[in-house]
Amino acid sequence: MKLETAEGVEEFDLQNPQCVQYPFIQTMVNALLGKGECASNGRTAMRTAYVMDVALQNYYGSREDAFWQRESEWGAKR
């Protein structure tokens, strides 16, 4: 990755990240196997989905339709 600022250019050799979802997936699997509890539930999932929709609305537009079929409109200034 290259970072260009007024002070100059800085390059970073970044490795591909570990799967960031892994800890949550493992917690959920453990809960399903009766080996623990998962703090996430339907209510927290709905809240997360709402926050993501609001955060990405200016990029994707509404998700009320098949937004994945209008990729050419993504990122258009709204």
Domain ranges of the chain: 40-70
Inter-residue contact 60 to 69 (CB < 8 Å): no
CA 17 to chain centre: 14
pLDDT at res. 15: 84
For the stretch 17-60, pLDDT in tens is 788 888 889 999 999 999 999 988 889 999 999 999 899 888 88
Under the banding of pLDDT at 50, 70 and 90, the label for residue 62 is confident
Give the CA distances from residue 55 to residues 6, 62, 65, 69, in Å, rounded to whole numbers and listed in that order: 29, 11, 17, 20
Determine the Cα–Cα distance for residues 32 and 40; give it in Å rounded to an integer: 12
Inter-residue contact 46 to 34 (CB < 8 Å): no
